[in-house]
């Protein structure tokens, strides 16, 4: 009889989003007249910018003509896109990343889940707590996390780095040495950002201790402050210890189109084995790249007009962030994030748990957010609202919360 990968059986069910779904459905059924506003999910609501639509149309036309038809895309991505990324996301910021160190993919979710495959199953991972769930779940599937304790919501072999109000949602360097460290800045779910000096400390630690940092920069486009780095490669020495993940989802509305990229520098080595070569081998075999049409749309993101239109889109969501942040403050809440990130993280009032607050917000204001405990034990007592709704709904939701 065949056997399954029983690591999959260890995964607890998707408690967070299924519970949210059930609660919202039950409320809607009981109150069909009530309009529900969803500020819980990380999906965007604004349509693709005209410059992206034009690029997609043009590429579709090319695909229908013999001379300009494209079949399989190159394993690592088309040069036109990798060159645009290297120029705009790295060279323009003084980072030494070459086009051939960039691997184009179908998004940061796939890459953040898949990247662990090139590391030994014996490696210990460290994650922020609370955390984007993909990092832990993909390591569970690989058999790297030990046993799950439902009482604490933690895995025995994972090093959790608490991010709380007390440490400004910036974890301390781990006391126990990990092999792989997952960092995400600007952060989902807390909306926290990191200064260049603070990130440099992580890079120094990783180089000193022989760790790899997997740095998720999915929300980089939302950075507004000067001293916040857009890339880990702005830090000295990051080429020998860091992999960086990027997405086109949050800056350009590609959540349904799918495009991202991962940087694995040639200097990142384990002994004399190049991680770049391993990831290239993996990409060549289990390709999760993007079609020609989508890569042309990605190229348009870096055109002058693309930059202008997408800056406006990011500004639209950041205006929502400001509405949420200031509205909640006015209403007396303790609020974090929302400055360099499209997430607002708030302290639940009094001793309310994050699920109690979820129920209260749904039942009294018809607003859906995400309970902080769903992102990890240190998220208990916090709540996430996202800036990705429409402006009108965001304003309406905050008016309702203020009226509570």
Residues that bind ligand PLP (CB under 6 A): 42, 107-109, 112, 132, 184, 188, 216, 218, 247, 249, 255, 260
| Of 73, 43, 57, 62, residue with least CA distance to 288 | 73
Minimum distance between the CB of residue 360 and ligand PLP, rounded to whole angstroms?
25
Helices vs strands, H then E, count in the chain: 13, 17
Using only the alpha carbons of the chain, give its radius of gyration: 21
| 376/323 Cα distance (integer angstroms) | 27
For the CB of residue 67, give the shortest distance to ligand PLP in the complex, in Å: 32
Task: Give the shortest CB-188-to-ligand PLP separation in angstroms.
Answer: 4
Backbone angles phi, psi at 160, to 5 degrees: -95, 135
State which residue, 17 or 80, has the beta carbon closest to ligand PLP. 17
Whether the Cβ atoms of residue 389 and residue 397 lie closer than 8 Å to each other:
yes
> In whole angstroms, how far apart are CA 91 and each of 85, 105, 212?
9, 21, 23
Phi, then psi, of 141 in degrees rounded to 5: -60, -30
Please tell me whether the peptide bond between 189 and the residue prior to it is cis, using omega within 30 degrees of 0: yes
Q: Which is nearer to ligand PLP, 242 or 401 (CB)?
A: 242
Name the minimum Å distance from CB 47 to ligand PLP. Answer: 16
CB nearer to ligand PLP: give 218 or 235: 218
DSSP 3-state assignment of 232? helix
Residue 261: which residues within 8 A CB-CB, separation 6 or more?
A: 77, 82, 85, 102, 103, 104, 105, 111, 245, 246
Q: How far is the CB of 216 from ligand PLP (least distance, A)?
A: 5
Supply the minimum distance, in Å, between the C-beta of residue 254 and ligand PLP. Answer: 7
Closer of 276 and 384 to ligand PLP (Cβ) = 384
Closest C-alpha to 76, from 86, 67, 66? 86
> Which residue, 255 or 348, has its beta carbon nearer to ligand PLP?
255
Tell the smallest beta-carbon distance from residue 125 to ligand PLP (Å): 15
Using an 8 Å Cβ cutoff, are 283 and 255 in contact? Answer: no
Dihedral angle, C-alpha 111, 113, 117, 122, nearest 10 °: 140
Nearest alpha carbon to residue 118 among 247, 262, 7: 262
249 vs 309 by CB, closer to ligand PLP: 249
Q: In the beta sheet, which residues pair with residue 127?
A: 160
Q: Is-contact 298 290, C-beta < 8 A?
A: yes
> Which one, 188 or 354, has the nearer CB to ligand PLP?
188
CB nearer to ligand PLP: pick between 248 and 355: 248
Q: Which is nearer to ligand PLP, 27 or 287 (CB)?
A: 287
Closest distance to ligand PLP from the beta carbon of 1 (Å): 36
SS3 assignment, position 269: strand
Distance of closest approach, residue 86 Cβ to ligand PLP, in angstroms: 19
């Amino acid at each position: 009889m065949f056997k399954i990968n029983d690591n999959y059986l260890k995964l607890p069910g998707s408690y967070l989003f299924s519970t949210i779904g059930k609660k919202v459905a039950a409320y809607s059924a009981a109150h069909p007249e009530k309009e529900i506003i969803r500020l819980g999910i990380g999906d965007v609501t604004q349509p693709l910018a005209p410059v992206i639509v034009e690029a997609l149309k043009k590429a579709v036309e090319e695909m229908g003509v013999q001379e300009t038809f494209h079949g399989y895309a190159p394993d690592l991505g088309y040069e036109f896109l990798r060159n645009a990324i290297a120029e705009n996301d790295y060279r323009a910021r003084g980072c030494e990343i070459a086009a051939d160190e960039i691997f184009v993919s179908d998004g940061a979710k796939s890459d953040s889940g898949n990247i662990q495959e090139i590391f030994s199953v014996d490696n210990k991972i460290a994650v922020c707590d609370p955390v984007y769930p993909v990092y832990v779940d993909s390591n569970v599937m690989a058999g790297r996390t030990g046993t799950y304790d439902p009482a604490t919501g933690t895995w025995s072999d994972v090093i959790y780095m608490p991010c709380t109000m007390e440490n400004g949602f910036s974890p301390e360097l781990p006391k126990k040495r990990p092999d792989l460290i997952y960092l995400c800045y600007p952060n989902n779910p807390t909306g926290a950002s990191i200064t260049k000096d603070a990130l440099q400390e992580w890079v120094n630690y990783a180089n000193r201790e022989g760790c790899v940092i997997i740095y998720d920069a999915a929300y980089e486009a939302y950075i507004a402050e000067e001293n916040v780095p857009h890339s880990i490669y702005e830090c000295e020495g990051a080429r020998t210890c860091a992999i960086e993940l990027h997405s086109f989802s949050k800056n350009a509305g590609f959540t349904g189109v799918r495009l991202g990229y991962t940087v694995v520098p040639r200097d990142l080595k384990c002994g004399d084995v190049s991680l770049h070569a391993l990831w290239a081998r993996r990409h060549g075999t289990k390709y999760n790249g993007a079609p020609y049409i989508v890569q042309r749309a990605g190229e348009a993101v870096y055109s002058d007009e693309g930059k202008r239109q997408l800056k406006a889109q990011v500004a639209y969501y950041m205006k929502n962030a400001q509405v949420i942040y200031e509205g909640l403050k006015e209403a007396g809440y303790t609020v974090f994030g929302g400055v360099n990130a499209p997430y607002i993280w708030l302290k639940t009032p009094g001793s309310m748990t994050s699920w109690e607050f979820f129920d209260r917000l749904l039942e009294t204001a018809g607003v859906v957010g995400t309970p902080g405990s769903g992102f990890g034990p240190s998220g208990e007592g916090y709540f996430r609202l996202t800036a990705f709704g429409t402006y009108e709904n965001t304003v309406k939701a905050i008016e309702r919360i203020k009226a509570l």
